[in-house]
Structure 1
Amino acid sequence: MNNKNPELHIVEPIQWKEDHIRIIDQTFLPGREIYQDIFEVGKVWEAIRSLRVRGAPAIGIAAAYGVYLGAKDLPEIEIVDLHSEIQRICEYLSSARPTAVNLQWALDQALSLSDSMQGEPAEKITSALLDLARDLHENDKQICADIGIAGQELIPDNAAIITHCNTGSLATGKYGTALSVIYHAHLKGKKIHVWVDETRPLLQGSRLTAWELEKTGIDYHIIADSMAGWVMKSSKPDLVIVGTDRVAANGDVANKIGTYSLAVLAKHHGIPFYVAAPKSSIDLNTPTGDDIPIEERQDDELRVIGDQVTAPEKAPVYNPAFDITPHELVDAFITEKGIIRPDYTASLKQI
């Protein structure tokens, strides 16, 4: 691979198709590129919960479409009851995954819209919910592009970059967050090499980020998560850049498990640690990272890889999906509004 011809082959993980959504089922990647058509809210919930669609912005988009699909399929009921039914749908979808704030952010917008239209005909309300979902989807594409444009200024030519999890198009409407920064630096003609953390236990780095980088032609190597410290010492990368599922008001960051370790290592080695975050991931109502709920996932995600059992059948497992990186380890946030630096308690409120 090389950077001779800066261009991008960008995938779109969610598409609206007349009366349903179509997603790339990410559980099959990278071996098979399988698309799933989803017509009902229950299947949206399952797709979010099972990581068929994943990434904070992407699950927010999927949930917004899910509210419409659920409302559309309601039997004829009194208009006065419609808002309470939409509220029930939102509560159901919010239970799919608790950590990413974008999910609740999108549902809150749908609920607010429904509340503002109480008394209107049901058809008009459901139509407005679809318009909202499509607007959120299109806006996310522009937001991700703006994050990339703003952040690429932090990327020197001939940069070596460490990433974690998947923060590309697969996690958003298009382009991604942290990977959008890399993509837009690539489009500027900068030569880039990416160290891709495999991101155990679900391997979103090696399965998904490497798959995306392969399509774009950006140079990369996959490394085990445990290799990152040695890579920092021996190869001296220029920066670490990650995404986030939620940023607390003080700048603490909830992101895929393993992010905290990277931040500590980066601080020790004097390497800048950046977080790419759309405004919708910044939760000013959550004071610190201690207040962010951390999702714990199934035991077999650690005991089994594919069809291969890698631990005793009943070995006790602790499997948090996320960790919290303290704000003092974050050198800057890259947002659609520009680069945000400390003091985060003040600067995040200005976005």
Structure 2
Amino acid sequence: MSLEAIRYRRGSLSILNQLLVPGQLRYEAVDGVERACEAIRAMEVRGAPAIALVGCLSLAVELHGGAGPAGDAAALEAFVGERLRRLVAARPTAVNMAREAERLRVALHRRARGPGATAQELRDSVIEHAEALLQKDLADNRSIGAHGARHILQRVPHAGVTVLTHCNTGSLATAGYGTALAVVVGADRVAANGDTANKIGTYQLAVAARHHGVPFYVAAPTTSCDPALPSGAHIPIEERPAAELTDFQGVRVAAPGINVWNPAFDVTPHELITGGIITETGVYAPGELLQALVAARGD
């Protein structure tokens, strides 16, 4: 049985604190957006899909508990917009949270402009939207795994396959199934040309795979793809606190005065993604990704 990153029922959300794994398996309550932002920034929860889920579900929990204006639909819409902005700012590189926030804002605005819309109806619609994301994430992850496995096995002339994964690509990065399966990496954001931002070390692995003729794949849901960015040069790269490198369990281990640059991600150029980009809708060469996204979204 795989570990669960997220446990949710209406009105209740808890997450596995991944800072404590594997020494401890401790689930902690997330009672609203502020606690979710703290957990996301501190990397208690990680993986772009899981970040988006925890963010949206924390808002659902908050609204179920009565947070926000009670009587005015426009005021509740403004309240939800402000909470979503806080969540998006918690970790800027992973695009899933920003994409889901925008979808939720659009859906909420449309409903708020409907005849006779009430604050309670808007509240319920946000909760239902967030809950639907859980089931969609599971379905998308299973599709990613199926497409990736089929594509890899078709390219291998013999029965055995050895797969190296990089980044948090299993159930702890998602709602509970996982995205990744030659070399397969996850992704926090994929630009329109296929350039990919992922955890530090991905670029080096891609270079080594290219040198040795090993297919290199990126496995990511379409929510991690950002067609608005033409290339990886435009992806905002999150920087982590210096103490993550200079300290260990609260005790400084680096010499005094040491300066630290601690980017959380590097960018892999699309030319190094030789296997393809695996999404829930299929496997695409980097140059085919943008057209596939447009077709999938019906733009």
Same fold (TM over 0.5): yes
**Structure 1 residue 78, shift from structure 2 partner:** 2.9
**Structure 1 residue 79, shift from structure 2 partner:** 2.6
Q: Which runs of 5+ in 1 are unaligned?
A: 1-8, 182-238
Find the partner of 1:122 among 104, 114, 119. 119
**Structure 1 residue 298, shift from structure 2 partner:** 0.3
Find the partner of 1:49 among 13, 24, 41. 41
Find the partner of 1:142 among 139, 142, 166. 139
Find the partner of 1:104 among 78, 98, 104. 98
**Aligned 8 A contact 1:341 1:347 in 2:** no
Residue 288 of structure 2 corresponds to residue 339 of structure 1: no
The 5 Å alignment of 1:1-351 reads 9-71=1-63, 72-76=66-70, 78-118=72-112, 120-153=117-150, 154-155=152-153, 157-178=159-180, 181=181, 239-306=182-249, 309-331=252-274, 332-344=276-288, 345-351=290-296
- Specify the SS of the correspondent of 1:343: helix
Distance in 2 (CA, whole Å) between partners of 1:329 and 1:97 is 26
Distance in 1 (CA, whole Å) between partners of 2:139 and 2:73 is 35
**Aligned 8 A contact 1:65 1:133 in 2:** yes
1:230 alignment counterpart: none
Distance in 1 (CA, whole Å) between partners of 2:281 and 2:136 is 14
**Aligned 8 A contact 2:69 2:119 in 1:** no
Deviations 1:270-298 (A, max 9, x none): 11100001111111111111111000010
**Structure 1 residue 262, shift from structure 2 partner:** 0.7
**Structure 1 residue 308, shift from structure 2 partner:** 5.5
**Structure 1 residue 145, shift from structure 2 partner:** 0.6
Percent identity (aligned): 40
**Aligned 8 A contact 1:25 1:52 in 2:** yes
Distance in 2 (CA, whole Å) between partners of 1:266 and 1:305 is 32
Deviations 1:10-51 (A, max 9, x none): 222112133121111111101000001111211111111111
**Aligned 8 A contact 2:70 2:76 in 1:** no
For 2:175, the aligned partner's letter is: G
Instruction: Provide the TM-score with structure 1 as the length reference.
Output: 0.77
Deviations 1:47-99 (A, max 9, x none): 11111111000011111112323444114353322211111111111110000
**Aligned 8 A contact 1:251 1:348 in 2:** no
Distance in 1 (CA, whole Å) between partners of 2:76 and 2:10 is 23
Distance in 2 (CA, whole Å) between partners of 1:342 and 1:169 is 25
Give the alignment's Cα RMSD to 1 decimal.
Answer: 1.7
**Structure 1 residue 307, shift from structure 2 partner:** 5.1
For 2:201, the aligned partner's letter is: G
Distance in 1 (CA, whole Å) between partners of 2:6 and 2:190 is 24
Where does structure 1 differ by over 6 angstroms across 4 or more consecutive aligned residues?
Answer: none
Distance in 2 (CA, whole Å) between partners of 1:63 and 1:310 is 34
**Aligned 8 A contact 1:303 1:313 in 2:** no
Instruction: Provide the TM-score with structure 2 as the length reference.
Output: 0.90
Moved more, 14-23 or 26-35: 14-23
**Structure 1 residue 342, shift from structure 2 partner:** 4.3
Change (3 A) 1:342 1:78: closer
1:215 alignment counterpart: none
Distance in 1 (CA, whole Å) between partners of 2:207 and 2:145 is 25
Q: Which runs of 5+ in 2 are unaligned?
A: none
**Structure 1 residue 103, shift from structure 2 partner:** 0.7
What is the number of residues matched between the two proteins? 284
**Aligned 8 A contact 2:69 2:76 in 1:** no
Deviations 1:195-236 (A, max 9, x none): xxxxxxxxxxxxxxxxxxxxxxxxxxxxxxxxxxxxxxxxxx
**Aligned 8 A contact 1:99 1:292 in 2:** yes
**Aligned 8 A contact 1:70 1:89 in 2:** no
